[in-house]
Amino acid sequence: MKVKVCGITNIEDALYCIESGADALGFMLYKSSKRYVDIFAAREIIIQLPPFTMLVGVFVNEKPKIINYIAEELGLNAVQLHGEETPQVTDEINFPIIKAFRTNKNFDFSEVERFQGITPMFDSDSLKSNFGGTGKTFDWSIIPEEYRRRSIIAGGIGINNIEELINEINPAAIDLSSSLEAKPGIKDHTKVKAFFEKLAELKNK
């Protein structure tokens, strides 16, 4: 199971997360986010990172040509879409895509099949009112079996429920943000260290 740490805004947090065991870093390129970094700040962080660091840019209802431009400029490995993007939009993007779906008991999982070649991310539907980092989870058991091992799970994941998530879903990857923060956009290194130590402990069971 891979781990992406999102909401990176400074090089100290970026390096600490990578050294602690993060497989990917996420940069909020959406201006209304409390964890927003512009393209120039993101570039300054990225050029100081170790080679082969997985880089993901997060966008919300952005034009495909702008997504492609920013992703190319920053050397992103993938883009993550958190808005109301349609399959027509994703077809115009030239990078691997993670598409977030706001998930609750009424969510129609056939919606995922409308998108070709994307990696689905299932996240809390609380994002409707407050984009990103709400720390709210959802009932993972509603995720159909066929999606569990090939999806990314986000929303309220932390040291207190990671064991339950692995036992119940064992997804391809998880996405963490607020559970590792001191405040929006600033990681708490003690929380980061504790989480990855817990994850290592679970993997060695």
Residue 39 contacts residue 11 (beta carbons within 8 Å):
no
Res 135: pLDDT: 64
Residue 6 bears catalytic tag: yes
Res 166: pLDDT: 96
CATH classification code of 2-203: 3.20.20.70
Res 21: pLDDT: 97
**Tens digit of each residue's pLDDT (9 = 90 or more) over 164-187:** 999 999 999 999 999 999 999 999
Cα(151)–Cα(129) distance, integer angstroms = 24
**Tens digit of each residue's pLDDT (9 = 90 or more) over 35-85:** 999 999 999 999 999 999 999 999 999 999 999 999 999 999 999 999 999
**Catalytic residue among 6, 17, 125, 175, which?**
6
Residue 17 bears catalytic tag: no
Res 127: pLDDT: 47
**Tens digit of each residue's pLDDT (9 = 90 or more) over 91-116:** 999 999 999 999 999 999 999 999 99
Q: Is 190's pLDDT higher than 80?
A: yes
**Catalytic residue among 13, 123, 125, 175, which?**
123
- For 158-167, the CB contacts below 8 A with 24+ separation are 158/195, 159/191, 159/194, 159/195, 159/198, 161/137, 162/195, 162/198, 162/199, 162/202, 163/198, 163/202, 165/140, 166/1, 166/202
Question: pLDDT class for 134, splitting at 50, 70, 90?
Answer: low
Amino acid at 117: G
Averaged pLDDT for residues 129-141: 68
